[in-house]
């Protein structure tokens, strides 16, 4: 933790001071909204300025929470954001980055250390929910340990609140908002370390034919033509299917592509990617030829589970299409 950040955390812990938040945006209206929401949430405002101010590198302290409105990035901005990401990670702070679909790949590649919440084209309600999630994960100078069940419950609760916020937004904004979903998905317990793990991995059945997996995906997507998409939304499973097919096809999957495969808004998909990464099902892979890019793939744990799942289905899997 940077010395100034550490000093503040110690003082806040002993004096009961509110969490300090820094907000940065080049859009005056968004910056004003963020400032109002930070004050309404009971946080202390540490810094408030443009993105250039955030990426300056000369700020002595950013506080415990950093919120960025980063719609686009050039090469210099990417380098600066990567440095900021590293600083936030070292200090033990949390970060929320609001961005656009076009800049998502760049932002995701730059934020490899701090594990930020990434919001894509967020509404004000999304930013408020992000503040709430950060408050739930952070205490004064401490991070509360959550069980896997707690994290999943928090995620589902967040999605339910998001749905309510979107419905309320429709009364105040003429443009319809795309509804998010509150899917149910259980990851199960991580296998205990075993000396025979490598042997078991070698004995696992092969992954299914990617053509079969793609047909299953297409059939799942077909339902949206006849029913409300939220009725069947299951982004975690859709992403696992997409990554399973890509693994056999030897195709790399970008975070943008995986968000599309999820069938839900990008911000919702990114929350699930984060949770599934924490659960040991997904992992981030840096592009060896271009450090500004990163991809998502299944972990060995997930590959093993998908292999055995389709093996159990056997010939019945073909009946799913």
pLDDT for 27-36, tens place per residue? 999 999 999 9
pTM: 0.72
Q: Could you tell me if 28 and 139 lie in one domain?
A: yes
Burial 206-228 (b: 16+ CB within 10 A, else e): ebbebebbbbbbeebeeeeeeee
157 inside domain: no
Per-residue pLDDT band for 3 (boundaries 50, 70, 90) equals very low
Structure tokens at 54: 């955030």
Q: Could you tell me if 244 and 124 lie in one domain?
A: no
For the chain, the domain total comes to: 2
Q: What is the pLDDT of residue 202?
A: 58
CATH number for the domain spanning 111: value is 3.40.50.2300
Query: Across all residues in the chain, what is the average pLDDT?
Result: 78
Handedness of CA 25, 30, 35, 38 (dihedral sign): negative
Per-residue pLDDT band for 221 (boundaries 50, 70, 90) equals confident
189 inside domain: no
Q: Over the stretch 101-149, which tens digit does the pLDDT of each residue have?
A: 999 999 999 999 999 999 999 998 888 888 877 766 654 344 445 556 5
Q: What is the pLDDT of residue 313?
A: 84
Quick one: average pLDDT of 174-200?
Answer: 44
191 inside domain: no
CATH number for the domain spanning 211: value is 1.10.10.10
Give the other-Cβ count within 10 Å of 268's Cβ.
Answer: 27
Per-residue pLDDT band for 204 (boundaries 50, 70, 90) equals confident
Q: Could you tell me if 205 and 305 lie in one domain?
A: yes
20 inside domain: yes
Exposed/middle/buried for 75, CB within 10 Å: 0-12, 13-18, 19+? exposed
190 inside domain: no
Q: Which residue has the tokens 């991070």?
A: 143
Quick one: average pLDDT of 65-85?
Answer: 91
Q: Could you tell me if 10 and 138 lie in one domain?
A: yes
Q: Could you tell me if 111 and 214 lie in one domain?
A: no
Q: Could you tell me if 8 and 138 lie in one domain?
A: yes
Q: Structural domain of residue 288, as residue ranges? A: 197-320
């Amino acid at each position: 933790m940077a010395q100034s950040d550490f000093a503040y955390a110690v003082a806040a812990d002993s004096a009961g001071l509110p969490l300090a938040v820094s907000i940065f945006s080049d859009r005056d209206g968004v910056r004003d909204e963020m400032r109002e929401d930070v004050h309404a949430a009971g946080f202390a405002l540490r810094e408030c300025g443009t993105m250039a101010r955030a990426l300056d590198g000369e700020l002595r302290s950013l506080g415990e929470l950093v919120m960025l409105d980063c719609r686009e990035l050039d090469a210099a901005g990417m380098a600066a954001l990567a440095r900021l990401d590293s600083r936030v990670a070292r200090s033990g702070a949390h970060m929320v980055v609001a961005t656009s679909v076009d800049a998502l790949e760049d932002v995701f590649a730059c934020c490899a250390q701090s594990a930020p919440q990434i919001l894509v084209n967020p509404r004000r309600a999304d930013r408020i929910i992000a503040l709430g999630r950060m408050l739930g994960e952070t205490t004064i100078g401490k991070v509360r340990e959550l069980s896997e069940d707690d994290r999943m419950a928090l995620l589902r609760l967040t999605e339910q609140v998001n749905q309510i916020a979107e419905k309320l937004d429709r009364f105040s904004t003429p443009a319809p908002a795309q509804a998010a979903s509150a899917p149910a998905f259980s990851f199960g317990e991580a296998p205990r370390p075993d000396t025979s793990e490598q042997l078991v991995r070698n004995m696992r059945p092969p992954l299914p034919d990617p053509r079969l997996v793609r047909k299953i995906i297409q059939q799942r997507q077909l339902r949206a033509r006849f029913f409300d998409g939220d009725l069947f939304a299951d982004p975690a499973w859709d992403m696992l299917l997409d990554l399973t097919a890509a693994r056999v096809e030897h195709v790399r999957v970008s975070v943008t592509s995986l968000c599309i495969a999820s069938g839900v808004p990008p911000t919702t998909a990114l929350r699930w990617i984060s949770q599934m990464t924490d659960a040991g099902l997904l992992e981030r892979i840096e592009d060896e030829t271009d450090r500004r890019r990163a991809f998502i793939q299944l972990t060995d744990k997930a590959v093993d589970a998908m292999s055995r799942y389709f093996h159990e289905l056997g010939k019945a899997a073909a009946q799913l299409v």
